[in-house]
Amino acid sequence: MDSRSIVAPGAQMEKLGDGYKFTEGPVPDKDGNVFFTDQPNNKIIRWDAETGKFSVFSDNAGRANGMYFDKKGNLVACSDEENQVWSFDKNGKPTVLVKDYEGKLLNGPNDLWIDAKGGIYLTDPLYKRDYWKRDPAMQQDGQHVYYLNPKTKKLTRVDEKLKKPNGIIGTKDGKKLYVADIGDSKTYVYDIQKDGTLANRTLFVSKGSDGMILDEEGNLYITGDGVTVFDTKGEQIAHFPVHKGWTANICFGGKNRDMLFITAETAVYGLKMKVKGVAGY
């Protein structure tokens, strides 16, 4: 289904690479190269937009999941091995940005988005990992959405009323934030306030999501059963089957940001689009 013709004419879903254990967290750098994780194998992989080749960016990724680039070109990751948020420099060296909330471990940071000021919004659901050395029980008093203030470095909660928040993405103008409550099969949109807090939570669609992305027209792409696309009013305009299993996450990559780059279990896929992704930092 593609009612608004957002896919490039004649384009087909293409398998770009496989042989991974479980792929997640794709994000493009400023040149359109895509970085994604193979979480069970504790690696971050780089896909080259020019050649289509893959290379290992980090083989000690802290079990990275959702990721996003900051303005300085650092790769910020939800590294849930120790329930933290890490920042990788261009050489793959990590620094811990978030290690706990009020002295207690987070449940397991899952996905994040960085605003123009450098503030980080992140989701903290509980998915019990077999590599944890900690008590696998919930560490916080629920599964919440957090904001890391770029000036004070203080982590605060910005929504405490979701069942299991997962996918998260903000608009380029920094005015709206979308959060998927995968535990309640809903996706909400919020108004972002000047201080980073959220207001006016509104149901956007009655569907949850793992990863999410926006295109330049403001259409929202959500994942799970393939990729489903909604326009700014919440009307479904497209659905792209990927394969029989779970589709975890997506981004726009490639030199022109017109390649929908999709992580789905053991492989990654590409679909050439007529629309483009929002340019990053």
User: In this structure, what token pair is assigned to residue 28?
Assistant: 């493009």
* Residue 231: band (very low, low, confident or very high) from pLDDT cuts 50, 70, 90: very high
pLDDT at 281 over 60: no
Separation of alpha carbons 188 and 228, rounded Å? 15
Distance separating alpha carbons of residues 50 and 54, to the nearest angstrom: 11
Q: How far apart are CA 123 and CA 254, in angstroms?
A: 27
The answer to whether residue 274 scores a pLDDT higher than 70 is: yes
pLDDT digits (tens, 9 = 90+) for 119-139: 999 999 999 988 888 888 999
- List, for residues 62-107, the tens digit of each pLDDT value: 999 999 999 999 999 999 899 999 999 999 999 999 999 999 999 9
State residue 114 phi and psi, 5-degree precision: -110, 130
Six token digits for residue 58: 């980090």
pTM of the full predicted structure?
Answer: 0.95
Please report which confidence band the pLDDT of residue 170 belongs to, taking 50, 70 and 90 as the band edges.
very high
Indicate the pLDDT class of residue 280, thresholds 50, 70 and 90. low
Reference 85, options 102, 65, 58; nearest CA is: 65
Give bridge partners of residue 45 from the DSSP assignment. 36, 56
Asked whether 121 and 110 are in contact (CB, 8 A), the reply is no
Average pLDDT over residues 24-36: 96
